[in-house]
Amino acid sequence: MTTPLVIGNWKMNLLTAPACELAKSLVDQLADVSGVDVVIAPPFTSLYPVGQIIKSSRLCLAGQNFYYESNGAYTGEVALEMLKDVGCDYSLIGHSERRCLFGESDEGVNKKVHHAIDLGITPVVCVGETLEQRNAGATLATIETQLSIGLADLSQEEKPRLVIAYEPVWAIGTGVNATPEQVIEIHKFIRKYLVERLGFSEEVGVRILYGGSVNSENSEQLLREKEIDGALVGGASLNLESFCAIINSAIEI
Ligand code: PGA
């Protein structure tokens, strides 16, 4: 059985003091919780202090993005080595806000996935269709392209290290979540694609998360589905009670 995974993506929110306060409260609230992996992805400026607060707890730290070179003249970028240095074990890669607002490509995603695996960081690769693509019947083709290029050339040893987050762009930050049926259809498609087209073994158990307007009201309905291995949570992860409620609903009863 795969352990569910819940990731809080704080995006470009919270100054250092409130970020540290939220991290401290999460450590307290989750001290007795087991049966779920919990990861938080604060903005870069809070990674170090938040990492210090959570380091002996069950919470793990993630970056929201990085550049795939190790160092050099790349003004304004952050290397994955730097994320690792401040305690990150995970990083999001190819979030739709990176793709839509900052022009990130599937080829760039692929470079980042390889770099993360080389450094022992778990890549959380985000895929998902826009509303236009869904309305045009291009959902599966879109995800297929994102997977085939984004996950190209992984060795058998590298494959189990991945996490995939299905995040339909139309559901992110809109308050309109995908229904469990819609999510299940895509998660099954992704799993089948990984096995049949990308050569993953069925036993590998890559975790596939759902993200897009997950909140404390809809999390139970989504996370009780065995096809949904956890959640990538944006807005609701900034609120202690909501995020803890979502985490609780991910735990298998
Ligand atoms: P949301 O964001 O939960 O605010 O919709 C999810 C995400 O972007 O990861």
For residue 253, pLDDT beyond 70? no
Give 105-156 pLDDT, tens digit per residue: 999 999 999 999 999 999 999 999 999 999 999 999 999 999 999 999 998 8
User: d(Cα 227, Cα 207) in Å, to the nearest integer?
Assistant: 9
pLDDT of 200: 87
Going along the chain from its start, the domains and CATH numbers come out as 5-251 (3.20.20.70)
Return mean pLDDT, the chain.
95
Given ligand 1 and candidates 39, 91, 232, which is best to mutate, with the most ligand atoms within 8 Å of its CB?
232
**Ligand 1 centre distance from Cα of residue 154 (Å):** 27
More confident residue, 156 or 88: 88
User: Is pLDDT at 18 greater than 90 in this prediction?
Assistant: yes
**Alpha-carbon span 72 to 249, nearest angstrom:** 43
pLDDT of residue 74: 98
CB 17, CB 103: distance < 8 Å? no
Catalytic residues: 95, 167
Distance separating alpha carbons of residues 94 and 123, to the nearest angstrom: 10
- pLDDT, tens digit, for every residue of 207-247? 999 999 999 999 999 999 999 999 999 999 999 999 999 99
pLDDT, mean of residues 149-176:
92
pLDDT for residue 136 = 97
